[in-house]
Amino acid sequence: MTEIPKNHPRYESLLAREKVASGVKMGITSIQGLVAQGRGESFDYLIGERSTSSAVHAERAAVAALLLAKNPVISVNGNVAALAPDKVVDLADVTGAKLEVNLFHRTETRVHLIIEQLKANGAFEVLGKNPDVSLELPHDRRLVESRGIYSADVVLVPLEDGDRCEKLVEMGKTVITIDLNPLSRTSRKATISIVDNLTRALENMIKFGVEMKKEKKEELVKLITTYDNKEALFEAISEIQEHLKIMAAEIGY
Ligand code: ATP
């Protein structure tokens, strides 16, 4: 991985880019994953590369849903495995969720390499190698395990594509997504859309998970029942508008 000077003003963003590029070289991330990362980066720029208050609100509701779930599952793809393998394992530990590899551009080698990557970061068991159910979808994200995503009541699908998100919602699941684009089909279809950078979102969620585990069940239920995804997306778009106004004013025209 190319060394990035820590004092570079765009250190975090360049580091993430290097991680995804390394993921491609290691064979865990698809070449298309680079484009997905680029799209995410551009939205992060507009958001101001920070966790907004609407994102934090969605992250807290998402953690409450994971903690209250009977069979929570975190779906891992090649970008997630390249960018935050340690964090996704930590979040699974804190919330008691299973991990399942699920890929759009699936090859058995990539599934194997991602499982090894997660295990090297502390995961005990990772599902996804032996899918035994096929969802009604026209691509390989249809392949899931019956004791994982198929039977999950709450699924966290970071960096998801819109049609599987819609399918999982249709199946009656609480679907949590992490996507910097508040306008994507995924963000609009999910039950809880976290409009934040994957790395920042997972760091926040791990911290909230540790704190919220000590809270009463009623408090967690309240966080979920008072959460409104349309309102959260509206807030996310408004926060981008506000940030752009500030940036425009800084030009000083
Ligand atoms: P949809 O079908 O939901 O409209 P899409 O075609 O816009 O999805 P994909 O290419 O399937 O998008 O997935 C990439 C999505 O993930 C993009 O919306 C992008 O903003 C988001 N994304 C990419 N990298 C990150 C990241 N590091 N953190 C958060 N979101 C990211």
* Ligand 1 binding pocket includes 55 (Cβ within 6 Å): no
* Ligand 1 binding pocket includes 37 (Cβ within 6 Å): yes
Q: What are phi and psi of 81, to 5 degrees?
A: -65, -30
pTM for the whole thing? 0.96
Amino acid letter, 243? H
Q: What is the pLDDT of residues 1-59, one digit of tens each?
A: 778 888 888 888 899 999 999 999 999 999 999 999 999 999 999 999 999 999 999 99
* Ligand 1 binding pocket includes 62 (Cβ within 6 Å): no
Q: Return the domain boundaries, the chain.
A: 53-233
Q: Which atom belonging to ligand 1 lies closest to the Cα atom of 42?
A: 20
CATH class of 53-233: alpha beta
Return the biggest CA–CA distance within the chain: 60
Q: Which of 44, 79, 184 to mutate to test the pocket of ligand 1 (most atoms within 8 A of CB)?
A: 184
Q: What is the pLDDT of residues 137-192, one digit of tens each?
A: 988 899 999 999 999 999 999 987 888 999 999 999 999 999 999 999 999 999 99
The Cα 243–Cα 3 span in angstroms is: 31
Q: Is the pLDDT of residue 61 over 80?
A: yes
Q: Which of 14, 137, 159, 193 to mutate to test the pocket of ligand 1 (most atoms within 8 A of CB)?
A: 159
Closest listed residue to residue 193, CA positions, set 225, 219, 221, 230: 230
SS3 67: helix
Q: Which atom belonging to ligand 1 lies closest to the Cα atom of 32?
A: 10
Quote the pLDDT of residue 162.
86
